[in-house]
C-alpha cells in the first residue's frame, strides 16, 4: 500500500470510528460533514430532510462535497455504483430511488467504513444495497454491469485518476452516466502542499485542474464532460485554490 493510500485509509478509518460512537447522529453534532478542523472534504448541505428521514440517516454521515444523486436522475430498475461509498448515505438514497428492480453498490477500501455502511443499511431497512470491499482503481464488478457511476469527493484522493476513470468507463453499460461530485484545483497549489499526506487525505493535494480532469475523461472514452464548480474550499492550504465541482459525462 502506498503512503498516500495508507494516509487516506487511516484518516477515514478514524472518521468511521468517530461517527460510529455517536448514539443518534444528526447534522447538529459537529461530526463528519461541516467539522471545520476535521477530516471532511467539504460540506454539501444538499440533502433534503425528507430524503434523510426516509432512510433513517442524517447528513452527518456524509463527508462529501455535494450530492451526486441529484445529478443522476435515477430511475427504477437501474444499477448504480458509488465509488468510495463511506458510511453509505449516497448508496442508500440511490437504492431507494432505483427500487423496484434496481440495485445500488457501494465500494470502499476501509473496513471501518464498510462496517458503518452495513450498520446504516440495516438500520434503514433498505434491502437492495450491497457494500463491496475494494479500491476504486480496481472495481470488483463485471464489464458493462452498471447504469450510473456516482462518487462524492473521493476520486481526488486517488493517485492514479486515469485508472479510476477507466474503471468507471469499463463497468458502465453503453449510454451509462458518470455523475460525481469531486474537488478540483482552481489555482495552482504550492509544491509543499502537493506533497503533504494529510492535505492529500483532506481532499486538497490530490486535486487536479479541470482541463486535466476533462482530458482524462475523454481519453477513457467518455463523451461531453461537463463541469459545474459550485463552491470553493476554505480549509487550510486550499483557500480559494480548490473547489467543489459537479461532473457529468456519458459513455457512448
Confidence at residue 43, expressed as pLDDT on a 0 to 100 scale: 44
Confidence at residue 230, expressed as pLDDT on a 0 to 100 scale: 84
Does the pLDDT value for residue 23 go beyond 60? no
Alpha helices by DSSP H, listed for 125-242, are 161-171, 191-194, 197-201, 210-220
Q: For the chain, how many structural domains are there in total?
A: 1
Does the pLDDT value for residue 24 go beyond 80? no
Torsion angle, CA of 91/97/99/101, rounded to 10 degrees?
A: -80
Average pLDDT over all residues of the chain: 85
**Under 8 Å CB-to-CB from 102, ≥6 apart: which residues?**
74, 75, 76, 77, 78, 79, 80, 95, 128
Print the domain residue range for 189: 3-250
Counting residues of the chain whose pLDDT is more than 90, the rounded percentage is: 57
Write the pLDDT tens digit of every residue in 222-245: 999 999 998 776 665 556 889 999
Can you give the pTM of this predicted structure?
Answer: 0.88
Q: How far apart are CA 31 and CA 22, in angstroms?
A: 9
Write the pLDDT tens digit of every residue in 32-75: 333 333 334 444 456 777 877 888 776 556 667 888 988 888 99
- Report residue 110: phi and psi, to 5°: -105, 120
Confidence at residue 252, expressed as pLDDT on a 0 to 100 scale: 98
Cα-based distances in Å from 156 to 95, 104, 115, 122? 25, 22, 23, 29
The CATH number of the domain holding residue 8 is 3.40.50.150
Write the pLDDT tens digit of every residue in 99-111: 999 999 999 999 9
Amino acid at each position: 500500500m502506498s503512503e498516500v493510500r495508507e494516509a487516506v485509509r487511516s484518516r477515514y478509518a478514524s472518521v468511521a470510528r468517530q461517527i460510529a460512537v455517536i448514539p443518534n447522529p444528526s447534522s447538529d453534532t459537529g461530526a463528519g460533514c461541516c467539522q471545520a478542523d476535521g477530516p471532511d472534504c467539504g460540506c454539501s448541505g444538499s440533502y433534503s430532510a425528507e430524503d434523510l428521514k426516509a432512510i433513517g440517516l442524517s447528513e452527518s454521515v456524509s463527508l462529501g462535497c455535494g450530492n451526486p444523486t441529484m445529478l443522476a436522475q435515477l430511475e427504477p430498475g437501474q444499477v448504480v455504483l458509488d465509488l468510495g461509498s463511506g458510511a453509505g448515505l449516497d448508496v442508500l438514497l440511490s437504492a431507494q430511488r432505483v427500487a423496484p428492480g434496481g440495485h445500488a453498490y457501494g465500494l470502499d477500501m476501509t473496513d471501518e467504513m464498510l462496517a458503518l455502511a452495513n450498520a446504516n443499511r440495516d438500520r434503514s431497512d433498505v434491502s437492495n444495497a450491497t457494500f463491496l470491499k475494494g479500491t476504486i482503481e480496481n472495481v470488483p464488478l463485471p464489464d458493462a454491469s452498471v447504469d450510473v457511476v456516482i462518487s462524492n469527493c473521493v476520486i481526488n484522493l486517488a493517485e492514479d485518476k486515469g485508472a479510476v476513470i477507466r474503471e468507471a468507463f469499463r463497468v458502465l453499460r453503453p449510454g451509462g452516466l458518470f455523475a460525481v461530485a469531486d474537488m478540483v484545483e482552481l489555482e495552482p497549489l504550492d509544491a509543499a502542499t502537493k506533497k503533504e499526506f494529510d492535505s492529500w487525505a483532506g481532499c486538497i493535494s490530490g486535486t487536479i485542474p479541470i482541463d486535466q480532469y476533462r482530458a482524462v475523461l475523454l481519453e477513457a472514452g467518455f463523451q461531453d464532460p461537463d463541469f459545474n464548480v459550485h463552491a470553493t474550499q476554505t480549509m487550510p492550504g486550499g483557500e480559494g485554490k480548490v473547489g467543489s465541482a459537479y461532473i457529468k459525462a456519458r459513455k457512448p
